[in-house]
Amino acid sequence: MMQTDVAARALAALGHEARLALFRLLVKAGEDGLRVGDLAGHLGMPASTLAHHLKALVDAGLVIQERRGREVINRADYDAMRRMIGFLTAECCTGVTLTRAGAA
């Protein structure tokens, strides 16, 4: 089970429009991932901006980067994504008991 602080970091990273678009593109790309240049082309994002957003996703544990010669392949970390979804849905529909302050 994912810890709350790890989930919060991952969700914070996805809380930026550009990073969310980037992560969704990597999820769509599948296990083969995409090169940095391909990501920039799909998103119309300058390389320096893309590098900044990729670093945030890597630091949050959502993206895996693999160097292949001179290229860097980026892939969504599907296990981390599943852990985050599991964290969010772990207690779905289990019920909540409301208590009132001062109730006897």
CATH assignment of the domain containing 58: 1.10.10.10
pLDDT band at 104 (very low <50, low <70, confident <90, very high): low
Residue 72 is assigned to a structural domain of this protein: yes
Residue 100 is assigned to a structural domain of this protein: no
Question: How many structural domains is the chain composed of?
Answer: 1
Whole-number pLDDT of residue 100: 83
For 52-76, write each residue's pLDDT tens digit: 999 999 999 999 999 999 999 999 9
Q: What is the pTM of this model?
A: 0.87
Residue 18 is assigned to a structural domain of this protein: yes
Residues of the domain holding 8? 4-89
DSSP string, the chain: ---HHHHHHHHHHHTSHHHHHHHHHHHHHGGG-EEHHHHHHHHT--HHHHHHHHHHHHHTTSEEEEEETTEEEEEE-HHHHHHHHHHHHTTTTS------TT--
